[in-house]
């Protein structure tokens, strides 16, 4: 059974939903990669978003499922590295929302579960399938199942193809349906600022 899962930023200015979510329409992982960690630290949300192994709970699905009903003017995105990933958050209250590719023409959406209804999240998205980049985690990861690899990549490509061939990718509220450009111009962090951010993370972790 699928459900419409409410999403909102912490202050409520941005709100919407993910349509028809079920464990079969996406895949839930905890990502421990350095870039996901850096994003949450950039927003200064590490204490309430990252788990004790510095992991971020994410749900990968099709962008056409996303509806933003209000507060689209609060959307902001940032690129933290030379890698093209766009990381979306709200300017009103620094709530991390999504990770996407840089163009809507390559439809990929990773929803940061923090912005979804906590009462329905587990039922809608299903359990965490495993941990991505466990080698970059903080603390003891023994007993945690590693995920990713070809199976995840194939699922991502399949969802991308499904969106492209059906034309549904044009429904994503994050990108212009014609040009594929993001609706909010990305901030790009300089390498120097990223080094500074990484230094604050190292300091925070060692405390």
d(CA 182, CA 31): 24
Minimum CB separation of residue 170 from Zn ion in Å reads: 27
Based on the number of CB atoms within 10 Å of its own CB, is 167 exposed (0-12), middle (13-18) or buried (19 or more)? exposed
User: Which residue do the tokens 């994050």 mark?
Assistant: 174
Backbone torsions φ then ψ of 36, nearest 5 degrees: -65, -40
Minimum CB separation of residue 10 from Zn ion in Å reads: 6
Q: Which is nearer to Zn ion, 59 or 170 (CB)?
A: 59
Minimum CB separation of residue 63 from Zn ion in Å reads: 18
Q: Which is nearer to Zn ion, 89 or 175 (CB)?
A: 89
d(CA 136, CA 151): 20
Q: Which is nearer to Zn ion, 14 or 171 (CB)?
A: 14
> Residue 50's closest CA among 108, 141, 112, 98?
112
Q: Which is nearer to Zn ion, 33 or 155 (CB)?
A: 33
Q: Which is nearer to Zn ion, 56 or 172 (CB)?
A: 56
Binding site for Zn ion (CB under 5 A): 9, 11, 13, 31, 33, 36, 90, 92-93
Minimum CB separation of residue 35 from Zn ion in Å reads: 6
Q: Which is nearer to Zn ion, 5 or 31 (CB)?
A: 31
Minimum CB separation of residue 71 from Zn ion in Å reads: 7
State whether residue 40 is helix, strand or coil.
Answer: helix
The DSSP H or E segment spanning 194 is helix 191-206
Q: Are 174 and 88 in contact (CB under 8 A)?
A: yes
Q: How far apart are the first and last CA of the chain?
A: 44
Minimum CB separation of residue 66 from Zn ion in Å reads: 17
């Amino acid at each position: 059974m699928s459900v419409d899962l409410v999403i909102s930023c912490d202050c409520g200015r941005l709100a919407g939903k993910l349509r028809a979510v079920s464990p079969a329409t996406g895949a839930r992982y905890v990502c421990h990669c350095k870039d996901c960690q850096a994003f949450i630290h950039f927003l200064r949300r590490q204490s309430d978003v990252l788990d004790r192994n510095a992991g971020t709970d994410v749900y990968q699905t099709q962008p056409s499922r996303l509806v933003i009903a209000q507060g689209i003017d609060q959307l902001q995105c940032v690129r933290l590295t030379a890698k093209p990933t766009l990381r979306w958050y709200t300017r009103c209250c620094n709530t991390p929302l999504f990770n996407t590719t840089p163009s809507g023409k390559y439809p990929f959406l990773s929803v940061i579960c923090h912005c979804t209804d906590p009462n329905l999240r587990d039922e809608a998205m299903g359990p965490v399938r495993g941990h991505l980049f466990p080698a970059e985690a903080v603390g003891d990861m023994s007993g945690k199942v590693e995920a990713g690899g070809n199976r995840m990549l194939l699922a991502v490509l399949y969802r991308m193809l499904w969106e492209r061939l059906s034309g549904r990718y044009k429904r994503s509220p994050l990108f212009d349906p014609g040009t594929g450009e993001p609706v909010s111009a990305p901030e790009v962090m300089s390498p120097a600022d990223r080094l500074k951010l990484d230094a604050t993370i190292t300091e925070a972790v060692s405390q």
